[in-house]
Structure 1
């Protein structure tokens, strides 16, 4: 999935390695930008970009008149439960709260941190417009007819090509285009579950997954995640030993809301653990291509059991409004094809053709690199503002990917009440309540850091901080 690293990524990786090997200790001063530029024969801008990445990860910080300093380890949100506690499967009831929250934020949020979508400034809109026009002007006008059930042949081919360097690549005959990643997940659930089944999910997890379980009468079995390394596999194994689990829905490459990315060895172990037990894994990889670490692959890349139902999308990287997603369901693929055809036949052909042409142009990987870097710079600015303005005791989980920050407020804070109060000020937030069937995240919020940083954004965060300080 990843080609040769850019120079700024190479510089960042070199410094990060020195920190991880403790050649550079917390409090040590890094070489100046100019010194690194001269020693490595790179531009000053390259070094600035590299240091920005390391700052965004929380590994270093800039000190006025002193340069860059190796940071102390960042504290991360700790889940409010005893280690190794195993939850019981429970019925899900989050749809009403989640729907109201998203609707209110969309209608009233002047500054909207709640909807997890990239802003237009980060998208290649002019290029996509060109390819939409090209798709409409195809000489045979095939895009005015019903598309094939599987999807546009050009798009299927390009998606398959993007898996060539996986250990287990995907043939285009085993790919199905869907209306976004959520339709892909819903089709997979319909193919392999029945009402009353127990589904293992991450804790916290994307509220859309919990809504899907609720609508199907499925029970959720929550498995703890680490804010940095993702799903706790020991907890998962214990839960599987004690419960009859019909399927799992996990986000190994980039968890929503925390931004945690599982190490590759953990993904391999996950595939092995579930494959040997013949428990299907529905992999939600909507954010996987926005993981900041090179060499990040989905669990599907290691699926020697043909047991992973892989779901992804272009909504987080190219065009949320296009609603173009896709799935590859392994040994369950024939069943998901039947369900797709029986539900809505196919997905918009013109938009499929436009994305196919964009991928064929070879510009997508360059766009992803640029977007990841921009997101890391954005993340740094948001984290600095939250650290500066929010009350003492607030903890931040520094994401390894994605477009959101998972923030733990003081335990006495009711995040849902906070969301309602700041909405009156034109600010949309995501309360932690909707990311779990439990109450453990009642004092957490998710903040989308994609809106371009400016004084309005900082003032909005200041306003949230002011409400928090008044409540505590």
Structure 2
């Protein structure tokens, strides 16, 4: 120690505290002021030590909050299960999904838990919507909106996407009743009954519902929790079967938050051009990024094959049923289908959200949300890795959930009813596949703060899952 500089001594002391779990994952380190006082060091010395730890990925700085212990990926075991490639098949979605949705627990461990005050973002949103409603004049209420939606909202969405590297005009966007509606329109426009659609496995169960209703067949493509859809596996699928469309979530795919590298995106687009298929991009999680929101796949689309679908439901409010779609070469047909399936969107709701975006409230909300989600994620992963048996988890850089892989003997599907009896809702792995795979996996959300009730529910999971 005697030969070390003061900043090195402090760095070593802080590092040992992290290794000894004096400060656990997600905990706030002592402030710069308190470290200066307690360790008798200058502010510059303390800042230098903290910056060195930050450069190693051991801690992270959060504006106006201080330094926090961050994830150490080398110490977290990641999921290794991989989907099988099987022949295309019809889709049949489990009734279990309806039960989960009926309990309002798609993104919560606890059924029907509604408590606490409205967050500032929703208060500001409600004010904007209220002002738009009060501005309604004369017989406005007697008229339908245009099929494409309120131009002011489409202009704000175009500006928002421009910040993410995609230059889109308002005319290329259509407002929908959420992302699920956008995906529905995309599939109706690009596919016919009996066609084959490639999906991620594990992937979004809402997509499987749509495929079932439209009479489409599905072929599942193995997906990595780090990089998303496996391009080698997709190429094999495309060589073996005639695929009409591919649904993919390049930015933080559910259930594990995978982020597709740019090289994979370019290869996907090349495969789509070679095999003549539509690529339907589910971009709904992009604005939940814990850092910078990644550019959409659509930004690389020079062949007009990517239909982008998104909404505000994951980044702002589940109750705000407003989404959007950019339909590429199918856009005119999508506008017609929107007229048939929805007729029109609420004018005052669109105007209120447009104002909310224009005055900077949406951008401010996303900045605050990043820190909240990162804290929630870190606490969840830290808790999971204290379980008595080996647990493997994804480490998402966005999205709202982690994918948890348990020992092979665990059956999360059979544990569902046992969880209900104990007041806990789990989301079993087989829901994310049509072929019954991932029985020893489940999705756990970090969308909500870990209050006492949720911490207690999380603490009950090892006994429910591992001791069956």
**Same fold, TM exceeding 0.5?**
yes
- Relative to structure 1, the CA distance from residue 306 to residue 452 in structure 2 (aligned partners, 3 Å threshold; closer, same or farther) is same
Correspondent of 2:74 among 68, 72, 75:
72
Question: 1:256-288 deviations in whole A, cap 9, x for unaligned?
Answer: 111111122322322232134321001111111
Residue 443 of structure 2 corresponds to 446
Find the partner of 2:129 among 124, 127, 132.
Answer: 132
Alignment partner of 1:92 is 2:98: no
95-104 or 419-428, larger mean C-alpha shift: 95-104
Residues 276-287 of structure 1: pairs in structure 2 closer than 5 A: 276-287=274-285
Tell which deviates more after alignment, 70-79 or 230-239: 70-79
Question: Is residue 244–residue 276 contact of structure 2 (8 Å, CA) maintained in 1?
Answer: no
Runs of 4+ in structure 1 deviating by more than 4 angstroms, as ranges, are 26-37, 39-45, 50-55, 68-71, 104-107, 119-123, 165-168
Q: Matched residue of 2:319: which SS?
A: helix
RMSD (Å) for aligned C-alpha atoms: 3.4
Task: Specify the alignment match of 1:229 in structure 2.
Answer: 227
Corresponding residue SS for 1:72:
helix
Q: Which residue of 1 aligns with 2:371?
A: 373
Which residue number in structure 1 is paired with residue 252 of structure 2? Answer: 254
Q: Is the 8 A contact 2:290 2:370 kept in 1?
A: yes
Larger Rg: 2
Q: Deviations over 1:377-428 (max 9, x none)?
A: 111111111212x331221111121111111122112111212111122211
Secondary structure of 1:169's match? coil
Cα deviation per residue 1:22-62 (whole Å; 9 max; x = unaligned)?
xxxx98999997499736969989x99x966599xxxx995
Note the residue ranges of structure 2 that are not aligned, 5 or more in a row.
Answer: 1-17, 24-28, 36-41
Does the 8 Å CA contact 2:82/2:223 hold for their aligned counterparts? no
Per-residue CA deviations over 1:226-265 (Å, capped at 9, x if unaligned) read 1111111111111111110010111011101111111223
- Work out the CA distance in 2 between the residues paired with 1:69 and 1:248: 33
Structure-1-length-normalised TM-score:
0.82
CA distance in structure 2 between the aligned counterparts of 1:156 and 1:38, rounded to whole angstroms: 48
Rounded to whole Å, the distance in 2 between the matches of 1:70 and 1:179 is 40
Q: Which runs of 5+ in 1 are unaligned?
A: 1-25, 63-67
Cα distance between partner residues in 1 of 2:205 and 2:412 = 15
Alignment partners' CA distance in 1, 2:120 and 2:264: 32
Match of 2:288 among 290, 300, 306: 290
Q: Distance in 1 between matches of 2:60 and 2:270?
A: 33
Q: How many residues are matched?
A: 428
**Maintained 8 Å contact 2:166/2:296:** no
CA distance in 2, matches of 1:439, 1:193: 25
Asked whether the equivalents of residues 188 and 336 of structure 1 are also in contact (C-alpha less than 8 Å), the reply is: yes
Residues 128 and 354, structure 1, Cα contact 8 Å, conserved in 2:
yes
SS at match of 2:74: coil
Give the Å deviation of 1:298.
Answer: 1.2
Contact 1:168 1:303 in 2 (8 A): no
Report whether the alignment pairs 1:242 with 2:244: no
Q: Does 1:411 align with 2:385?
A: no
Check whether the contact 1:251–1:285 (CA below 8 A) recurs between aligned residues: yes
Q: Please tell me whether the aligned partners of residues 166 and 295 of structure 2 are also in contact (alpha carbons under 8 angstroms).
A: no
Q: Corresponding residue for 1:159?
A: 157
